[in-house]
Amino acid sequence: MWKTVKKSLLITTGLVAVLGIWGLIEPKTLNLDEEAEQIPGLPADWQGRKIGQLSDFQVGPWWDNAGTAHRAVDRLVEEAPAAVLISGDFVYHAEPDPQPKIEEAVSIVLPLVEAGIPTYAVLGNHDYGMSGKEATPQTELASELAIALEDAGVVILENESTEMSLPDSEQTLSLVGVGSRWANQADVSKALQGVSSDQARITMMHNPDTYEQFPASSAPLAVAGHTHGGQLRVPGLPQTSWLQFVQKDEVYADGWAKGYGEPGNNLYVNPGIGMSIIPIRLFCPPEVTIFTLEGE
């Protein structure tokens, strides 16, 4: 009896140790996820074009994953998509001196701009210094970050739209960006102003919960981040993670959120690069997402 118990304890201890070690290694890996998505009214010249997405660098703590973020950007430079969308949380705990963290975040994205790839972004809750919904938004921190990114050539969208263009075409594609939900900056109605109902568009936000506010058929391709894909997941069950125990919001963790939101809308949640609370990812590698656009 005791030998059986001892053997079981040794096996369990060994398994926990292996998982812990892999959890520290996995953040240094990088997954490339290639997806195809139909967009109604897609201009002919945008057919087959690629759009890249990154999210949640979380620069700041001693165990951040900035090295993987740099490699993710290098991979996108190699892929040379028509545009790159970054769905927020560039920094994590930026206080008491945010400047080095902001400079690191800028250094990560700068190769995209230098390569001539149009780069667009929204801000997330950590960019406002918010680890929880009840925290006070640090608007000065968010402003400093936004200014630094814009000075580097990144277009920051907050409840507004812009027209993405191609170097070899006059046809444009609308991009709608929504502000941070936790910082009380999310205004979907304002973001959609000026975009006609028949105009092809992509929408981006940080928090997937914002997606529910989009009217039917207003977000045929929506992208978000925020969840880190659950960060610690059960193998083969991408929606089963520690988020189910610690997350109060109704957040879809990773990938396509089928059946979520209004008809005609489609949301993809990028699992991001960085980490929160503990420096571990388990069965949830950092991801670069590339969407190939298709017309209906």
Mean pLDDT of 85-106: 93
293 membership: H or E segment, kind and range: strand 287-295
Which residue, 91, 53, 76, 37, is CA-closest to 223? Answer: 53
Q: Answer whether residue 19 shows pLDDT above 80.
A: no
Q: Are 286 and 273 a contacting pair, CB within 8 Å?
A: yes
Per-residue pLDDT reduced to its tens digit, 139-160: 999 999 999 999 999 999 999 9
Mean pLDDT of 290-296: 93
Quick one: pLDDT band at residue 6, thresholds 50, 70, 90? low
Q: How many domains does the chain have?
A: 1
Quick one: pLDDT band at residue 9, thresholds 50, 70, 90? low
Mean pLDDT of 47-55: 98
Greater model confidence, 110 or 22: 110
Q: Tell the burial category of 170 from Cβ atoms under 10 Å away from its Cβ (0-12, 13-18, 19+).
A: exposed
Per-residue pLDDT reduced to its tens digit, 57-81: 999 988 899 999 999 999 999 999 9
Strand partners, 31: 287
Q: Are 34 and 290 a contacting pair, CB within 8 Å?
A: yes
Which residue, 289, 265, 242, 255, is CA-closest to 85? Answer: 289
What distances in angstroms separate CA 74 from CA 3, 79, 84, 157, 275, one per listed residue? 52, 9, 12, 23, 20
Type of residue found at 74? D
User: CATH number of the domain that 263 lies in?
Assistant: 3.60.21
> SS3 sequence, 18-72?
HHHHHHHHHHHCCEEEEEEEEECCCCHHHCCCEEEEECCCCECCCCCCHHHHHHH
pTM of the entire predicted model? 0.92
Q: Could you give the CA distance from residue 252 to residue 138 in angstroms, rounded to a whole number?
A: 26
Q: Domain range for residue 262? A: 2-295
Residues 6+ apart with CB under 8 A from 66: 57, 59, 104, 108
Quick one: pLDDT band at residue 275, thresholds 50, 70, 90? very high
Report the SS3 class of residue 241.
strand
Type of residue found at 235? P
